[in-house]
């Protein structure tokens, strides 16, 4: 039997803590709950003492929120699953940082899926960069996030959003073309990036292509419309996407 993942639960509502612990006991046998905290101060002390591998972290709590607590930590060696009752601005930041989160009331399938994703990442050294990207984006008061985490086979890449030149759909994958001429294939649908990237900079010109308009060099009207990107690539514009 594989060793269980030591887990700390953090929530200011006793009922929510009890529900989460019960769901974990019933549906997540790979986790072992080693402690529970009800505010960030208590949580920080327990993290230092118990060294959990995974923390379920409610966002809004008395005496500060989850992000303030994480921002004060010099080294983050544990995985985090954020828990929130609010479908707000932070959720977009989670997606940019490839951070796992759950919405209240908790959904069993979503809980199990999040735990399964986390299980494969326990012990990875990139957790600091992922949390750092999340906090950096949250501290940026603009509606445009600067950094994006791209999950790849052996970990994650941190890239500047403005360096994305265009994205191509390839089945259930998306290939991201960067200004540096680097290509990154990600196991995400193009639609997920369309929903996430700022409309002021990114435009879906074809069912399989999203471009960063800041890298458009020329527009050609002929043959239904084409754009030439800064790297010389010619992109077709779908008739339905033309305005």
CATH number of 93's domain:
3.40.50.2300
Q: Are residues 113 and 230 in the same domain?
A: no
How far apart CA 215 and CA 135 sit, in angstroms, is 28
8 Å CB contact between 160 and 154? no
Predicted TM-score (pTM) above 0.85: no
Q: For residue 121, how many other CB atoms are within 10 A of its CB?
A: 18
Q: Are residues 109 and 182 in the same domain?
A: no
Q: Are residue 107 and residue 33 in the same domain, yes or no?
A: yes
Q: Which of 105, 139, 173 is the last residue of a domain?
A: 139
For residues 124 and 208, membership in a common domain is answered with: no
Has residue 144 been placed in a domain?
A: no
What's the residue count for the chain? Answer: 243
Please tell me the total count of domains within the chain.
Answer: 2
Domain that holds residue 71: 5-139
Which residue shows structure tokens 């940019």? Answer: 96
Three-state secondary structure readout of the chain: CCCCEEEEEECCCHHHHHHHHHHHHHHCCCEEEEEEECCHHHHHHHHHHHCCCEEEEECEECCEEHHHHHHCCCCCCCEEEEEECCCCHHHHHHHHCCCEEEECCCCHHHHHHHHHHHHCCCCCCCHHHHHHHHHHHHHCCCCCCCEEEEEECCEEEEEEHHHEEEEEEECCEEEEEECCCCEEEECCCHHHHHHHCCCCCEEEEECCEEEEHHHEEEEECHHHCEEEECCCCEEECCHHHCC
What is the predicted pLDDT for the residue at 122? 83
Closest CA to 53 of 26, 78, 84, 80: 78
Domain for residue 153, yes or no?
no
Per-residue pLDDT of the chain (243 residues; tens, 9 = 90+): 468 999 999 999 999 999 999 999 999 999 999 999 999 999 999 999 999 999 999 988 888 889 889 989 988 889 999 998 876 657 778 888 878 999 999 999 999 999 999 988 887 767 888 888 888 888 775 667 888 988 877 778 889 999 999 999 999 999 999 999 999 999 889 999 998 898 889 999 999 999 999 999 998 886 668 899 999 999 988 865 555
């Amino acid at each position: 039997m594989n060793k269980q993942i030591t887990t700390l639960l953090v929530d200011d509502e006793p009922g929510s803590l009890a529900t989460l612990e019960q769901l974990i006991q019933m549906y997540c046998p790979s986790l072992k709950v080693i402690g529970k905290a009800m505010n960030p101060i208590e949580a920080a002390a327990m993290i230092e003492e118990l060294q959990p591998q995974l923390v379920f972290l409610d966002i809004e709590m008395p005496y500060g929120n989850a992000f303030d607590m994480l921002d004060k930590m010099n080294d983050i060696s544990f995985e985090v699953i954020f828990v929130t009752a609010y479908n707000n601005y932070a959720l977009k930041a989670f997606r940019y940082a490839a951070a796992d989160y759950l919405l209240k009331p908790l959904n069993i399938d979503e809980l199990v899926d999040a735990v399964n994703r986390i299980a494969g990442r326990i012990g990875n050294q990139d957790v600091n960069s992922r949390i750092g990207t999340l906090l950096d984006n949250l501290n940026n008061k603009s509606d445009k996030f600067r950094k994006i985490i791209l999950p790849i086979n052996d970990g994650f890449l941190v890239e500047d959003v403005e360096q994305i030149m265009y994205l191509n759909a390839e089945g259930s994958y998306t290939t991201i073309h960067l200004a540096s001429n680097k290509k990154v294939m990600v196991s995400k649908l193009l639609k997920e990036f369309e929903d996430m990237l700022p409309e002021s900079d990114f435009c879906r010109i074809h069912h399989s292509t999203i471009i960063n308009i800041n890298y458009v060099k020329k527009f050609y009207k002929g043959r239904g419309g084409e754009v030439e990107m800064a790297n010389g690539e010619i992109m077709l514009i779908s008739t339905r996407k033309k305005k």
